[in-house]
Amino acid sequence: MALAWMPPSLLAQLPVLVVLLPLLAAPLAAMARGARWPWAVATAAAWLAFLSAAALLAVVLEAGPVHYHVGGWEPPWGIALAVDAANALVLLLVSAIAAVVLPYARLSVQKEIGDTRAPLFYAALSLLVAGLLGISASGDAFNVFVFLEISALATYVLVAMGRDRRALTASFQYLVMGTIGATFYLIGIGFLYAMTGTLNMADLAERLPELSDTRTVRSAFAFVVTGICLKLAVFPLHLWLPNAYSFAPSAVTALIAASSTKVALYLLVRMLFGVFGAHFAFVQQPAPALFVALGLVGLLSCSLVAISQRDAKRMLAWSSVAQVGYMVLALGMVSLTGLTAALLHLFNHALMKGALFMALGAVAYRLGGTGPEQLSGLARRMPWTFWALVLGGMSLVGVPLTVGFVSKWYLVLAAIEQGWWPVVAAILLASLMALVYIGRVLQRGWFDAPPPGRPQEAPLSLLLPTWALILANLYFGVDTRLTVGVASRAAAALFGAAP
C-alpha cells in the first residue's frame, strides 16, 4: 500500500484531520499578532489539510469508503463522517485550492485589507475552509447545516472586507439570500427528521423509500433542493453571486469561486443520490426537467450577460453562474455519463476559475482594478499575468489540452447519448460565447496601447500560485486518469447506491 509509511493510528484519523486542522487554525490566527503569524498559521493548516486530503483520497481509492465517528460516538448519537470517492475528490479540491490561494493571499491581503485586520481575515478564511471541508466530509445531514452556516458566516465577513464600499451591500445581499437558503435546508432536514427520526445520511437513505409517498417528504425534498440551489447560485437564484464575487477581496474571490459553489454542487449530488435516492428524485419528482430547463436558461442568459460586462472580474463572475448551468444541466440528464460530466466539471471549473480570478487579482494588485483601462496593453505591461489569463481563458472556452476540453467532451457526449441535439447545440453555443467574452479581454490586452508608465510584472508570490493552477489546468487536460477515473468511479458508486 502506498501509504504504508504512515502510522495506522494517523491514517484512521484522516477524515477528521482534514476538517479539524483549518478549524483549529482559525482561533490561533485570530489570537496572533501582526499579519505574518496569522497568515503562517492559516497557510500551514491549509497545507496539512491538503496533504491529509490527498492521503485520504489514496486510502479511499484503495480500500473503499471510510467511515469515522467523531469522538468515538456511534451514530445516530454522534457525528459521522463518511468519505467515498466523490467527496474525497471534493475534499482534495477544496483543500488544494486553499493551499494555493493562501500563499497568494499574503501580499494581496496586505494591499487590499491592511495589516490591522489581517488576523481576523485569516481567521475567517480558515473558518470558511473548515466549513467547506466539513460539508464535504460529513455523513450527517444536520451536521452539514452547521458547517454550511460556518462557511456562510465566514464568507459574509470576507466579502464585506472588500476595498469598494459596495462590498458591504454585496455582503448583505449574500447574507439575506444565504440565510434563506440555509433556512430552507434546515426546514427540509426538520421534516425529514420528523418523518424518519434520524439525521444520519445512510440511515435516511434506508428509511426514506417507504415514506417517499408522503407530502412531508415531498416538501422536505423541495425545501432541501431549493435551499442548496440558492447556495449553488442556480439560475434564477443567482442574484447574490455577481456582486459578491466582484466586490470581495481578490484572494477571497479566487477561493470562493473555486470552492463554494463546487461544494454546494457536491451537496446537491449527495442529497439527491445518497439521501433521497435517484428514483425518488428523478422519477417521482420533476427534478430532471427542472434542472435541464434552469441549466439551459442560466447557461445561455448568463453567458450573454457576461459578454456585456466591462469589468473583467464581474464578467468572470457572470461566467461562473453560466458554468453552474453546465453542471446542473449535466445532473439533469440522469445518466452515468451526465453525472460523471457534472463531477468532472466541478473539479475542472474550480481549476479554471481559481486561476483566472488569481490572475485578475494580480492585475488589481499592480494596477488597482480590472476595468478596461487596466487591461489595455496588459500583454506588454504584465506579460506573465497576461499569458496566465490567455491559458485560463482557453481552458474556459474548452480548447484541447486544457481541462475545459475534457469537461466539454463529457458534457457533449452525455447530451449526445441522450440524443438531445438542441442541448448539444446550447452547450457549444455557450462555449463560443465564452470565446467572445474572453476574446474581448485578451484583444484589449494584446492590441490596445498601454497607458504611459513603466511596465511592471506582478510579484512572484502572486505569479507562482497563479501559474501553479494554470499548469494544473494543462496537466489535468492531458493526464485525466485521476479526474476522469475518480469522477466516473464516484458516479458509478452514486448510481449504484440508488438505482
Phi then psi for residue 121, to 5 deg, are -60, -50
User: Taking CB under 8 A as the criterion, which residues in 415-444 touch another protein?
Assistant: 416-417, 424, 428-429, 431-432, 435-436, 439, 443
**Could you say whether residue 488 binds another protein (CB under 8 A)?**
yes
CB of residue 389 vs another protein: minimum separation in angstroms? Answer: 14
Q: Which amino acid is at 347?
A: F
Whole-number Å distance between alpha carbons of 123 and 23: 9
| x/- track of binding to another protein for residues 460-479 (CB under 8 A) | ------------------xx
| Alpha-carbon distance values, 117 to 30, 112, 120, 242, 319 (Å) | 10, 10, 6, 25, 31
115 in Cβ contact with 43 (< 8 Å): no
Query: Looking at beta carbons only, is 253 or 319 nearer to another protein?
Result: 319
CB of residue 483 vs another protein: minimum separation in angstroms? Answer: 10
12 in Cβ contact with 72 (< 8 Å): no
| x/- track of binding to another protein for residues 285-314 (CB under 8 A) | ------------------------------
Cross-strand bridge partners of residue 173: none
Q: According to CB under 8 A, which one of 484, 486, 490, 498 is a site residue for another protein?
A: 484
Query: Looking at beta carbons only, is 142 or 409 nearer to another protein?
Result: 409
Q: According to CB under 8 A, which one of 401, 471, 492, 493 is a site residue for another protein?
A: 401
| x/- track of binding to another protein for residues 380-399 (CB under 8 A) | --------------x--xxx
Query: Looking at beta carbons only, is 104 or 405 nearer to another protein?
Result: 405
Q: According to CB under 8 A, which one of 286, 400, 451, 455 is a site residue for another protein?
A: 400
Contacts of range 364-367, beta carbons closer than 8 Å, 24 or more positions apart: 364/112, 364/250, 364/313, 365/107, 365/108, 365/111, 365/112, 365/250, 365/458, 365/459, 365/462, 366/456, 366/457, 366/458
Query: Looking at beta carbons only, is 77 or 447 nearer to another protein?
Result: 447
Whole-number Å distance between alpha carbons of 2 and 113: 43
**Could you say whether residue 408 binds another protein (CB under 8 A)?**
yes
Among candidates 222, 261, 244, 207, which has minimal Cα distance to 93? 261
195 C-beta neighbours (distance < 10 Å), count = 17
296 C-beta neighbours (distance < 10 Å), count = 22
Query: Looking at beta carbons only, is 3 or 336 nearer to another protein?
Result: 336
**Could you say whether residue 24 binds another protein (CB under 8 A)?**
no
Query: Looking at beta carbons only, is 366 or 408 nearer to another protein?
Result: 408
CB of residue 379 vs another protein: minimum separation in angstroms? Answer: 10
CB of residue 179 vs another protein: minimum separation in angstroms? Answer: 40
Whole-number Å distance between alpha carbons of 392 and 445: 14
Stretch that binds another protein, among 113-121, 140-148, 400-408, 459-467 (CB under 8 A): 400-408
CB of residue 431 vs another protein: minimum separation in angstroms? Answer: 5
Q: According to CB under 8 A, which one of 117, 447, 456, 496 is a site residue for another protein?
A: 447
Query: Looking at beta carbons only, is 172 or 420 nearer to another protein?
Result: 420
Q: How many residues does the chain have?
A: 499
Task: Report the alpha-carbon angle 371-455-372, nearest 5.
Answer: 15
**Could you say whether residue 451 binds another protein (CB under 8 A)?**
no
Among candidates 292, 309, 312, 321, which has minimal Cα distance to 426? 292
Whole-number Å distance between alpha carbons of 203 and 427: 38
305 C-beta neighbours (distance < 10 Å), count = 18
Q: Which amino acid is at 233?
A: A
**Could you say whether residue 406 binds another protein (CB under 8 A)?**
yes
CB of residue 448 vs another protein: minimum separation in angstroms? Answer: 9
**Could you say whether residue 323 binds another protein (CB under 8 A)?**
no
93 in Cβ contact with 84 (< 8 Å): no
**Could you say whether residue 412 binds another protein (CB under 8 A)?**
yes
Query: Looking at beta carbons only, is 104 or 476 nearer to another protein?
Result: 476
Q: Which amino acid is at 220?
A: A
Q: Which amino acid is at 440?
A: R
474 in Cβ contact with 401 (< 8 Å): yes
**Could you say whether residue 491 binds another protein (CB under 8 A)?**
no
Cross-strand bridge partners of residue 67: 82
- How many chain residues are in contact with another protein, going by CB under 8 A? 30
**Could you say whether residue 409 binds another protein (CB under 8 A)?**
yes
Query: Looking at beta carbons only, is 142 or 495 nearer to another protein?
Result: 495
| x/- track of binding to another protein for residues 142-181 (CB under 8 A) | ----------------------------------------
Residues that bind another protein (CB under 8 A): 394, 397-401, 406, 408-409, 412-413, 416-417, 424, 428-429, 431-432, 435-436, 439, 443, 446-447, 478-481, 484, 488
